Amino acid sequence: MGAIAPTSIVRAAGRLLALGLSAALGCAVAAGVEVGPAAADQVRAEQWQLSALDARDAWKVSTGKGVIVAVIDSGVDAEHPDLAGQVLPGIDLVEPGSNNGGKVDPVGHGTTVAGLIAGSNRDKSGVEGIAPGAKVLPIRVLDKANKYDDPGIVAQAVRWAVDHGAGVINLSLGGALRSEAIAESLAYAAAHDVVVVACTGNIVTDPTTSRVWYPAREPGVIAVAGLGAAGAGGTESLWSGSLTGPETVLTAPAVNLTGARPGGGYWQVQGTSFAAPLVAGAAALVRARYPRMSAANVINRLIWTAKDLGPKGRDDRFGYGEVDPVAALRSTVAEVETNPLTEAGPAEAGAGLESSAEPLAQHGGAAPLPEASEFHVERLAEEQTRTSAVTGLTAMLLISLGGAVGVLLHQRRKGSRPQP
C-alpha cells in the first residue's frame, strides 16, 4: 500500500479522541466498534480468517471441545459476550494478590487473542474463534504497559498452565534474547505432552531486529509468522510486517482481523500475535479430534498438512506453509515418536531450525526483552504503511492529550519487553 493520507490519520485520531480519555489511557490503540446486534453481525461477516482456514468445514469434525488453551498474555476479559462461559479461572502473575483469576485485561491484547481462539457467541454474531468449543485458561504476565521485565514470570506462567490442565499454550509475546528460565519451562511443557505455539514477531515493533523472537525460536515450539489478505489469485502472501527466519514453522492470517475488545466491543488488529492463536486454535481442534494423540504427533500433523506457500517445500519465509485445520483433522499422517521440531526429531523436519544461545544481560538472568505491541488504529496501520502511520498518529495524540495517550498508539507488543 502507499503512504496513508494525512486526512485519514486526522479522522482516525478524531475517532480515538471521541472514545474519551478512559479508552485512550486504557491503551485502546484500535478504534472500537459500537456494541450492538448490527455491529456484531458486521463483525462476524468481517472475520475473513474463518473462510481462509475453512473453519466451518473443520467444525463438522471438531470444535475443540474438551481442550484447554492457556493464553499467557495481558489477561482476558471474561465478561465479553463472545467469551461468556469460555474462560476458566486462571492466575494474575502481575498482581498476584488481586485474586482476579487472570480475568481482567487493562491492555486488551489477551482478550483479542482469546477471542480468536475460542470466541463463541451464542447469538451467531460477534467474534467466533477457530476452536469455539475449547476453553481458555488466562494467565496474566503483561502489565498495564503491555510489558514484562522478568522472563521468569513467563516461565512460571508456562509451568502453571501445564499444571492446570492446558493441552495447548499460546505465547503471543517474545523478545530478542533467549531465556534459560523460559527454555526450561518449555521443556517442562514438552515433557508433559503440551503443544506450545508462539509468534515470530513484528518488524515494526523493533526495526533493528531481524531474527525470529524468543520463545518462538526455541526448538519444539510452533513459530507462527503472519499472512496478509488473499490477493487476486486467492492466495495469501507473507505480511510485510512479519519477522521470519529458519525457525519459522507455520503461517496464518495476521492482518485486518476483527477481535474482541475489553468492555464488550471490537477492534481491528494485525500482527503475528494474532496469527499465533489461529494455529493454537487449530491445535485444539486436533487435540479434541484425537484425544489420545501425543503433542508430538499433533505438531507433526499440523506441519505436514499445511498448505505449501512460496518455494516448494519448507522455506524460511513460510515455514511449512499456512495452517490447514481441515487437512489436519482429516488426513492420514504417519505417526512420529518425537517432536519433529526438536533437534532430536527427523532431519528433514528440523532442517534450519536452530537453538539460540544468546547470552542474557548480566543481572540475575532477568534481562528485559524488547517490548512490543500490535494494536494499531483501525485499518490505518496496514503492511508497509504501519510505521509511518503509528508514528504520525502517536505524535498527534501526544499533542492532544498531553502525552497521556502515547500509550494508546504504540503499546509495544506485549512482552517482556516482549514482542508478541
Query: What residues are annotated to the active site?
Result: 73, 109, 273
Q: How far apart are CA 360 and CA 181, in angstroms?
A: 11
Residues in the chain, overall count: 420
Q: Which helix (H) or strand (E) holds 211?
A: none
Give the distance from CA 316 to its chain's centroid.
Answer: 20
Q: How far apart are CA 21 and CA 23, in angstroms?
A: 5
Q: Which three cell numbers stand for residue 362?
A: 548480566
Does residue 226 contact residue 255 with C-beta atoms inside 8 Å?
A: yes
The Cβ of residue 207 has, within 10 Å, a number of other Cβ atoms equal to 9
Does residue 209 contact residue 176 with C-beta atoms inside 8 Å?
A: yes
Q: How far apart are CA 82 and CA 116, in angstroms?
A: 10
Does residue 253 contact residue 48 with C-beta atoms inside 8 Å?
A: yes
Q: How far apart are CA 241 and CA 220, in angstroms?
A: 24
Q: How far apart are CA 24 and CA 8, in angstroms?
A: 19
Q: Which three cell numbers stand for residue 190?
A: 514438552
E-only strand ranges, 44-134? 68-73, 91-92
198 residue type, one letter:
A
DSSP conformation class of 81: G
417: helix, coil or strand? coil
302: helix, coil or strand? helix
Q: Which helix (H) or strand (E) holds 286?
A: helix 272-289
Through-space distance between the first and last CA atoms of the chain, rounded to whole angstroms: 24
Q: How far apart are CA 46 and CA 57, in angstroms?
A: 18
Pairing of strands 222-230, 195-199: parallel
